[in-house]
Homo-oligomer: A and B are copies of this chain.
Amino acid sequence: MKPQAIKFIVLIAAVNILFSPPYSHAQLPSWNDSLSKRALVAFVERVTNFESPDFVPPKERIAVFDNDGALWSEQPMYVQLAFALDRVKVLAEQNPELREKQPFKAALEGDLKTLAESGERGLMELIMATHAGMTTEEFAVIVSDWLATATHPKYQRPYTECVYQPMLELLAYLRENDFKTFIVSGGGVEFMRPWVEEVYGIPPEQIVGSSIKVKYEVRDGQSVLIRLPEIDLIDDKAGKPVGIHKYIGRRPIMAFGNSDGDYEMLEYVTSGLGPRFGMIIHHTDAERESAYDRQSHIGRLDKALDDAEKYGWVIVDMKNDWNRIFPEAAR
């Protein structure tokens, strides 16, 4: 870009700022004018207004978001599990003996009941076989390639388009108000990093997630990191405040979740000093998405629903508070 072009853009930007109203709510068009939206906007206005006693300087405006069920759909199964199941198929082509070995046999046959019965150990075996052994850069390519072709079984669109439009608007709204937005997910951090920047506008260095260990090596003259079949961090439940502390190093002032896996994160964030905001996305829309809470195996929301009032966590009723769920299809 030529200097003249840059100067022109700067001038236009300055003129825009000069003539824009001080606050604009036009950023959240997919949110109905509900109590949850009003609480959200009121909080953001309160902490960004320099003259408010609750003003928070921009560097402390940290907002953390769960991913599965909070930013994108997690039903009928976590997207990362769908990835692992598809990945077993590829591996079985290379190693046919996997076809007779559990939990791979169950995975190949789509027998989720037997797979679940293999317990944590079986699931871990499945995850390690599909997620470890390659370099970090190779794994990123595997994830990107899969996402480019896989489609959601119910919505028949790429998983990266099964993200919630109201939450995309919320992320943008917070960033416009000088918030730094982070993901804090029980999902694998390396499963998210390849696509999250493009889809949510959140860079790789602002993603906290579960992880396996890696090892540095110079292999064939290339400096690489090898993914090892060994758990490093389970960023779920009480692991979420731990992950937040490790990666972010200060207590966020806003937290967004949707399940009991987010309980400790919400508790940690909203019990700090000063203005705090916690929000729970409640899946109430069987028609446009899914309706589930206390009885669900995936994304169970029970204890956090009971205690929301006590902590002042705001509940989003997806069916009534959101006038659309997913963005326009890109293709």
Contact = CB atoms under 8 A, between A and B. Distances in A.
A201 to B, nearest CB: 10
Interface residues of A, number: 50
A50 interface: yes
A78 interface: no
A10 B1 contact: no
B59 A249 contact: no
B249 A189 contact: yes
Interface in A202-248: 203-207, 211, 214-216, 218, 222-223, 225, 232, 238-239, 241-242, 245-248
Given A3-B22, A7-B18, A11-B14, A225 B245 contact: yes
A193 interface: yes
A286 B11 CA distance: 50
Interface string A152-194: 0000000000000000000000000000101000000110010
A304 to B, nearest CB: 14
Interface stretch (A126-134, A264-272, A321-329): A264-272
Please give the count of copies of this chain that the complex contains: 2
A215 B237 CA distance: 12
Contacts of A245: 136, 214, 225
Interface in A257-277: 264, 267-268, 271-272
Contact of A218 (B17, B22, B267): B267
B216 A249 contact: no
A197 interface: yes
Contacts of A215: 238, 242
B222 A241 contact: no
A10 B3 contact: no
A189 B242 CA distance: 14
Nearest to A268: B223
A250 interface: yes
- Return the 7 tightest CB-CB contacts between A and B, nearest first: A204-B249, A14-B14, A216-B238, A216-B241, A223-B271, A1-B50, A223-B268
Given A205-B205, A247-B247, 8 more contacts: A3-B22, A10-B14, A10-B17, A14-B14, A207-B249, A223-B241, A223-B264, A232-B246
